[in-house]
Amino acid sequence: MSLIQIGVLGAGTMGTGIAQVAAQSGHSVVLVDVNSEALKKSGDSLQKVLNRLVEKGKMDETQKEQIWDRIQFSSLYEDFKGCGLIIEAIVEKLEVKHEVFKRMEAIVSADCILASNTSSLSIASIGSALQKPERCVGIHFFNPAPLMPLVEVIPAVQTSAETLKKSKDLIDSWKKKSVIVKDTPGFIVNRVARPFYGEALRIYEEGIADFATIDWAMTSIGGFRMGPFTLMDYIGNDVNYTVTETVFEAFYYDPRFKPSFTQKRHKEAGYYGRKSGKGFFDYSENAVPAKANEDPKLGQEIFERILVMLINEAVDAVFLNIASREDVDVAMTNGVNYPKGLLKWADEMGLTVVLEKLETLFEEYGEDRYRPNPLLKRMVKAGQTFY
Ligand code: NAI
């Protein structure tokens, strides 16, 4: 079977990773960027990654050469001509995306799929620039693309069933875990994960615990690979704050997604996290690691409060048909490495317990963010479980 040629537009962090994934799956790839320096940097970083894979024994020299030879680095959109699918991974600006999608459509064949790796724009708005918007779909990878198994596949209102099926089958053939998500802000992961940061920040702001203690609760008791503050420092408070603000705006200012002043001030101060040497924690050479208050009762309280908020968000995604319950769980375990699917976790904890905890918070605070989801209430009433 001959493999279709894959195009990738934008040779930055994501484009380079996506090109690597496609080439490793046997496709010939055309990687286009308007910036020659970006192309050079992309080639250098790819060489480095492939060399490391050889050193680690994950592939041999011949395989490495084959993968490298399959990727054509180019500054010309015309080189996309023979592609069966192109994934765009350039700047997050709608006007620019419109321009490049129109340009690509003028070059490719009638059945070429044009996909976007956008994190925050709607696929419907991107596809609207096309003559044939039914060929447009969202194919959203996670960073680093070669390592993170999850890919969210997002049909827009215009996307044809054929485009969706072909895209999903292709991603599955790349040994990725694909999930289908409605074209709504944050898709699955960036929507459902909001309370991991937001509720942790809120707990800190209320003076219940400091950063180190909240992180300790989530890792030691909750089993999460990283605590929320370590993770925000890792992602960058500038980037993470912007995602939160974008999701908040996109949801017509639903108070559930309200950003936090604490994170905003850290961002404003230039306390981005690891990359700036200081964030919620200090990353300078002689820094003394912050000490957690390892009080088991306090830790359990923090962990459960954040967990039920995450579960409520996962339930909401199912309630509003954003994705299936299986896909919501697959997304969180494969896109952000949660130790368990949130809905499976809810079953284990007992839906009645989850609901009671949310009701207690809602009653105490009277704030919309703690409002238990109707689906959760219905399921408890009917004595149902997710699985
Ligand atoms: P980046 O800034 O690393 O790379 C973007 C590349 O696009 C640059 O090399 C730039 O020269 C090139 N470019 C800009 N305009 C262009 C044009 N008109 N034609 C051709 N090339 C052009 O950006 P990054 O981080 O790779 O993100 C790209 C896209 O992927 C964005 O839509 C972003 O939202 C999305 N995304 C980013 C993730 C991340 O963690 N960085 C995760 C998932 C999605």
Tell which atom from ligand 1 comes closest to the C-alpha of 90. Answer: 7
**In b/e form, how buried is each residue of 329-366, taking b as 16+ CB within 10 angstroms?**
bbbbbbbbebebbbbbbbbeeebeebbebbeebeeeee
- Give the CA-trace dihedral at 93, 105, 46, 242, to 10 degrees: 20
Q: Place 371 in a pLDDT band, splitting at 50, 70 and 90.
A: very high
How large is the average pLDDT for residues 48-61? 97
pLDDT digit string, tens, across residues 139-184? 999 999 999 999 999 999 999 999 999 999 999 999 999 999 999 9
Measured distance CA(291)–CA(281) in Å, rounded: 11
pLDDT digit string, tens, across residues 335-355? 999 999 999 999 999 999 999
Q: List the one residue out of 106, 99, 107, 152 whose CA is nearest residue 129.
A: 99
Measured distance CA(175)–CA(335) in Å, rounded: 14
pLDDT of 159: 98
Distance 89 CA to ligand 1 centre (A): 4
10 lines ligand 1 (CB under 6 A): yes
Domains of the chain: residue spans and CATH:
6-180 (3.40.50.720), 191-382 (1.10.1040.50)
Q: List the one residue out of 326, 385, 341 whose CA is nearest residue 180.
A: 326
How large is the average pLDDT for residues 207-221? 98
pLDDT of 1: 52
pLDDT of 13: 94
How large is the average pLDDT for residues 210-227? 98
pLDDT digit string, tens, across residues 55-75? 999 999 999 999 999 999 999
pLDDT digit string, tens, across residues 321-338? 999 999 999 999 999 999
* Tokens found for residue 214: 């909240």
- Concerning whether 28 is annotated as a catalytic residue, the answer is no
Measured distance CA(240)–CA(260) in Å, rounded: 11
Measured distance CA(134)–CA(161) in Å, rounded: 9
- Concerning whether 249 is annotated as a catalytic residue, the answer is no
14 lines ligand 1 (CB under 6 A): yes
Q: Which residue is catalytic, options 105, 152, 199, 313?
A: 152
The residue whose CA has the least distance to atom 14 of ligand 1 is: 90
- Concerning whether 266 is annotated as a catalytic residue, the answer is no
Q: Place 34 in a pLDDT band, splitting at 50, 70 and 90.
A: very high
189 lines ligand 1 (CB under 6 A): no
Q: Which residue is catalytic, options 190, 237, 260, 373?
A: 190
Q: Place 221 in a pLDDT band, splitting at 50, 70 and 90.
A: very high
Distance 127 CA to ligand 1 centre (A): 18
Distance 118 CA to ligand 1 centre (A): 9
pLDDT of 93: 93
pLDDT digit string, tens, across residues 271-283? 999 999 999 999 9
